[in-house]
Amino acid sequence: MPGSTRSAGAHEEEDETMDDLSGRVALVSGGSRGIGAAICSELAAAGAVVAVNYRSSAAAATQVCGDIQAAGGRAQAFAADVGDPRQAAALVASVTESLGSVDILVHNAGLQHTAMAHKMSDQQWDEALAVNLSAAFYLSRAALPAMRAAGSGCVVFVASASGSVAQVGAAGYVAAKHGLIGLTKALALESANKGIRVNAVSPGITDTDMVADLDERAKAGLLARVPLGRMASPEEVAATVAWVIRGASYSTGNVFHVSGGVAM
C-alpha cells in the first residue's frame, strides 16, 4: 500500500521476508542518481516510504521524489554528506523525525577517483575511504539502535566487484570496497541475534554517471573483462538489492554479485 505510514504495531506483525514493504521506512544514501535512484524507485514501488539522500544534486533528488509520488508512492529528499560522521548521524535523526525510525538502510553513495597509488593525493585517498567505507559505519551506528530495539531491520551495502577483485588506478576505492565487505560480515554477526540482516550487493560496471565520467579507453578496458560483455543497468542492480531486502530471509553476511561474471 504505497503512501501509507507505518502503524505502531508494524514490527510485531511483520513477516521475516519483508516481502511487502508497505509503510517501512527505507533510507538510501546517494539516492539522487544512478543505482541509488533506481533503488529508491524499486523500494517505493514495493510500498516503502523512501528517504532519498543526496550530497549536492538537490534537483535530481527532488526529481526522484517527484517520480515516486507521481507513481503513488511516498518519498522525501534529505541533504547530507554521509562521509561526515556528524552529518550522517544528523541524517538518520531527521529521517526518523520526519518519516519514522529507519527499518531499511541502504548505503549506496560512493565515488571513485582515478589515479595510480603512487600519484594519489591524501584528499583522494581520504575521500574514497570516507564515502565508500566510513559512511557505512556512521549510518549503521546511527540506525542500528532502533532496529535492535525493534528486533528487526535490514541493511544493504552497495559494494563493488572491486571489493573482491582488484582494479588498476583506484587503490582507495578498491581498499574501501574490500573493507565494506568486511564491515558487512562484522555487522551481520553482531546483529543476527536481534533479527537484523546485513548483506552487500556488488555491482560490476553499470551504466551511470560514474562510468560516463571515465575516458573511453578505461571504459573499454573494464568492459573487456566482463564475461557477459555488457554493462549492467541501474535497474538490474536495484532489483537485486530489493530481492535481498524482500526475499533473502535466511541470508546475512553475504555478498551478492551483479557483475556479469567479473567476480565468480
Binding site for ligand NAP (CB under 6 A): 29-30, 32-36, 53-57, 60, 81-83, 108-111, 131, 158, 160, 203, 205-206, 208-211
Q: How far is the CB of 186 from ligand NAP (least distance, A)?
A: 19
Where do the DSSP E strands lie in the chain?
A: 25-28, 49-54, 74-79, 104-107, 153-158, 196-203, 255-258
List 54, 138, 173, 250, catalytic entry: 173
Q: How far is the CB of 110 from ligand NAP (least distance, A)?
A: 2
Whether 138 is a known active-site residue: answer: no
Q: How far is the CB of 112 from ligand NAP (least distance, A)?
A: 6
Q: Which is closer to ligand NAP, CB of 10 or CB of 105?
A: 105
CB 237 within 8 A of CB 203: yes
CB 76 within 8 A of CB 100: no
Q: How far is the CB of 141 from ligand NAP (least distance, A)?
A: 16
Radius of gyration of the chain (CA): 17
Q: Which is closer to ligand NAP, CB of 10 or CB of 44?
A: 44
Separation of alpha carbons 98 and 67, rounded Å: 20
Q: Which is closer to ligand NAP, CB of 65 or CB of 158?
A: 158
Helix or strand (DSSP H, E) at 237: helix 234-246
Q: What is the 3-state secondary structure (H, E, C) of 53-93?
A: EECCCHHHHHHHHHHHHHCCCEEEEEECCCCCHHHHHHHHH
Q: Which is closer to ligand NAP, CB of 15 or CB of 122?
A: 122
Residue numbers annotated as active site: 173
